[in-house]
Structure 1
Amino acid sequence: MLQLSFIRDNRDLTLAGLRKRNFANAETAVDQVLNLDQQRRETQKELDNVLARANAKAKEIGALMKNGQKEAAETAKAETADLKVVSKGLEDDLKALEKQVQEVLVTLPNLPHSSVPEGRSAEDNEVVLENGAIPTLPEGAQPHWELIKKLDIIDFELGVKITGAGFPVYKGKGARLQRALINFFLDNALEAGYFEIQPPIVINEESGFGTGQLPDKEGQMYYAKEDNLYLIPTAEVPITNLYRDVILAESDLPVKNVGYTPCFRREAGSWGAHVRGLNRLHQFDKVEIVQIRKPEESYAALEEMSRYVQGLLQKLELPYRVLRLCGGDMGFTSALTYDMEVWSAAQQRWLEVSSVSNFETYQANRLKLRYKAEGRTQLLHTLNGSALALPRIVASILENNQQPDGSIRIPAVLVPYCGFDKIG
């Protein structure tokens, strides 16, 4: 959530950032929150004056009673009662105004970093770099949804039988490949200095609000109505919420956590060829990295996280590219996002496998996540990244490593984890 004090002091900068994000009615929303804030401050000032008068009257009553001036004391008591009625009304007005301010603030997305390119959609994203050679596949190479059927390692029809579309069943070497990737990603994160967390996979409303899923993305999350709980879309949500309402000591920083969880997304409105097979699922596995940093360190940390994810892709021998997302394609809470995409040789297109983002103080302001240094507290910066999401990694490994004999070569780095060097 944007800080009200920043908007108040930087109206034009706020408007420029919202326009870069193509946020509709930016000026109306900003002026609305500033007008409500002005009313709130005026009401607070009036309330403070009334409370000061009531306190003065209370002291006056004590002095009058001490001096035997009962009639004057009774008059003062009546005036005090009137002031209490006025103060109660002002307190109610103040709460209503504060609620209205918050209701507008939560509709405003994060402001983009100065390096974020202009643009409205994915076509306007900036390619930062490409790495790795595009593989040449043998004749008769197939997309992964045909390969997994032929190799009998993932079963979509069984998933439909048990649950519904988008919930595949992994079998045999398919299940072992999943487990190998999870352990490989976790081991690499531990070697890079991350601390492993195994969080809950359901969250309450406060957690969804803290990281920005609520009230923005409730339609994309699975919801257990009876318990008022949501299935997580990513481990970022529970891990970052470990630090909700926490004041960290400077010596606690930086925080670097990693966690594996299944993830759940309704993906409402998704259809077409781009969602075939493993390209888009309702349940999938992901290893997530989360960092909490001092503001002055967060962008160096973002570059470090980007290089770390790229290192995983290099070890998996997958050709990839890095995109800097434009203002219109970034997530609601992000100030700057890098997407990592791997080349799918059989589908002849790039598949997103990771997003690494800096949220600056946006999540921390909602979470009340701060640190104390030199006697004062200030908001921290939060960052997170997929390291990595499994479905499209599996799809790319299967498609890019097809051999002339129809088997799939397993990347060398995964062989110790899998216990086999090929499938088929």
Structure 2
Amino acid sequence: MTEPYDAIILGAGAAGLMCAAIAGQRGRRVLVLEKAEQPGKKILISGGGRCNFTNINTAPDRYLSANPHFAKSALSRYTARDFLALVEAHGIAWHEKTLGQLFCDGSSKQIVAMLLEECAKGGAEVRCDVEVTAVDHVDGVFSVAANGQVLTAKAVVIATGGPSIPKMGATGYAYELARQFGLKVVEPRPALVPLTLGGEDVLFRDLSGVSAPVDAICGKTSFHEAALFTHKGLSGPAILQISSYWRPGDTVSIDFLPGKPAGWLRELKRTAPRSTLRTILKDALPDRLAVTLADRLGHESDLQTLSDKLLDAAEARLARWPFCPNGSEGLAKAEVTSGGISTAELSSKTMQAKKVPGLFAIGEAVDVTGWLGGYNFQWAWASGWAAAQEI
């Protein structure tokens, strides 16, 4: 049996590498075990290969969790500006896209290289292609069986993520481990995922490839971004965002003409009486979408021949067009997993399990899920940093 490590981190993703780098630089003896053949695989594919590494608008209200206050501590102590300072210290050029999203000018590989360099700076060892077969805890010491070897440590950090994008090797191992140690798990489900349509809504699949800026609404939550019709249903940033709030049976409403004032169709009846709904919609939306919506509304006549009551009904429908998704495209297409290791089991300051001293959980493994646009990376950096302060 080898000399004990201060910490063994399971998973060389964003959270695990961040935790290892910081803990190593604090003088801790750290080992990272990764089952894939290389570290940071999800980082590499993120942001179309340019890594949307954080969001400057990061705030706790951009995260979903059974405890909406849990993320506050870590996010306030390690901010988007802190991570950006690290990126700049490594000379990585970046740019801001819409809604505060920060991307590398070059490649996601730069972020992985930066994290590995930071690990090396602190002497943290990263081993890939390692299969962990057992984790035990006896007399305050953790034993990790991996590749035929038994490694020991004072602390173990669960940083294996969630089961979204299984083709990248993602699994629910974090939850198995949590349950083994008596920690509750909030039911995991796909988040930031395209929604599928059936029934009458299936007609909209014919619009596959058509995109438009809309408001997507579910309950009291709405997002103003692009929606994309697909051969299976609905996708695009607005839909991915709202999918995290959607539950089976819920309706997702689309405002196809956001920002229009109440009574705008009555006003057009007065100023352009010979217009039709079809021509009006074609002026504002892609042709195929405009035609489909006009056909479904069913009013072919000039506005001047339609009653105000009919116009008000058409206006209301366009502002809250209901879709009843019959499901989602599942974990295979979900960018992240919602749910995970219950925050009630962890310290929000240290990410340590309350019942099992020395056991930590960080990143996507935990029941904290961010919006689309760099928020989940920022949670990985912040939670990894928070755990590293305690190791």
Which TM-score band applies after superposition, normalised by the shorter structure? under 0.3
Higher RCO (C-alpha under 8 Å, 6+ residues apart): 2
TM-score (norm 1): 0.22
TM-score (norm 2): 0.24
More helix by share: 1
| The structure with more strand, counted as a fraction of residues | 2
